[in-house]
Every structure is written in C-alpha cells, then in structure tokens.
Structure 1
Amino acid sequence: MTTVYGIKTCDTCRKAVKALDVELHDIRTAPLSMAQLAQFHEAFGDALLNTRSTTWRGLSDDERALAPLDLLAAHPTVMKRPVIDRNGTLYLGWGKDVQAALSDV
C-alpha cells in the first residue's frame, strides 16, 4: 500500500500522486498525528523541515526556534513534501532518486 502525504495545491505532490496513481492525504485538511510526525522526523531528521518555503519565511524567530515536531504540528505546510509511505518504507520528496526507487509502479 502506498500513501502520499502532502497538500493538494503542491505541484510536486500532484505529480507524485499522478505517477503513483494513489490518493493524497492532505495534511492541511487531515493533520498528521504526533506519532506520524515523530516517525517522519525519525526517518528524515531536520530534512523534513522545508526552510525554503513561504511558510518558513513567514515565521518569527521564536516560532523557528520551536522543537521540530511542535513546529510541524503548528504549521503543517512547513513540512517538505511529499512524504511517501510505501509498505512502511518512507521516502521524502519527488526527486529522481525517489522516482527510481518507486519505479516498479
């Protein structure tokens, strides 16, 4: 089973969903649990935070100083997208490496 976590307005998420022919779990309308955030952070560390995003640039210094899980819970769109869960194996982004790893679709 494959699940793509992201937001429906993200072009990269839409490309991944189309290529994998799966449904998108929109993290804006259905926020991730703290357990899911912890699992993603454990897998990817601080790479899970998109420090180039518009959301990140709009944060105050105090908000940026929050623990990563608290920041992601408060501002889900600061998460780098998409996060893809294929049978328990997690992938971050939709770069050529991830596309190659999931090319058996």
Structure 2
Amino acid sequence: MIKMYGIKNCDTIKKAKKFFINHQVDFEFIDFRDNPIDKTKLQTFVDKVTWENLINKRSTTYRNLNDEEKGNITLDLVLKNPTLIKRPILIIGDDIMVGFSEKNYLKL
C-alpha cells in the first residue's frame, strides 16, 4: 500500500489522488495538518531524499523565510511549517518519491 503525505487542499495532492483513483491504485492519504509528522519520520524523509529535494522553494512559506532560515533548514523549522515540504510525499515500501510526475507514477 502506498502512503501519500501532503495537505488536502493542495492542487498537486488533488492531481496525485485523482491519478491513483483513475488507475485503481490503493493508497492511504495522511494530511500533515491533521496528523503532523514526527521528527523521526521527517528525518527518514531527509535521509532518503535530502533537504534539496524535500523543500518546496516555490511555496509562499519558503519565500517568507528570512535568509538565515533559508540557508539553515532544520527539522524543527519544517515541523513548525509543514507547507515547506514538497508534495506529495509517497512512501512505497522502503522507497520515497517526492512530487507528482505522471511518468514516474506510471512506473509504480
């Protein structure tokens, strides 16, 4: 089963959900706002994909960070601001996929 992490009102999440439903792929959706991720899980994400691939630099939240925060992304900063995380985060077994890509999703 695929676990999808994100925020329910995110357009990219809506696209990913629609893709899985249309392709009859079972998934579990976990909303960061309703069920905040813990420090251990976030560290796992970072270890697998790095901050560079995990942080959504186009988000309003990121743009509102000061230069020091942008240069020093921490677990606590991201846990306090989960919208910094690029969406969706897919957990497939031991693998993690970040963002929506129809081409990559078809490979699943």
Normalization by structure 2: what TM-score?
A: 0.82
State which of 52, 59, 66 in structure 2 corresponds to 1:53.
59
Measured on the aligned residues, the alpha-carbon RMSD in Å equals: 1.6
Counterpart of 1:82 (choices 88, 98, 105) is 88
Distance 2:20 2:94 in 1: 16
TM-score by length of 1: 0.84
- Partner of 1:4, secondary structure, is strand
Residues 28-67 of structure 1 aligned to structure 2 (within 5 Å):
28-45=33-50, 46-67=52-73
| 2:100 paired with 1:94 | yes
**What percent identity do the matched residue pairs reach?**
36
**2:19 is the counterpart of 1:23:** no
Moved more, 23-32 or 60-69: 60-69
Q: CA deviation at 1:15?
A: 1.5
The one-letter amino acid of 2:13's match is C
Which ranges in structure 1 are unaligned for 5 or more consecutive residues?
A: none
Please report how far the alpha carbon of residue 99 of structure 1 lies from its aligned counterpart in structure 2 after TM superposition: 1.6
Number of equivalences = 102
Q: What is the alpha-carbon distance in structure 2 between the residues aligned to residue 101 and residue 89 of structure 1?
A: 13
One-letter identity of the residue aligned with 1:9: N
| Structure 1 moving runs of 4+ over 6 Å | none
CA distance in 2 between counterparts of 1:71 and 1:65 reads: 12
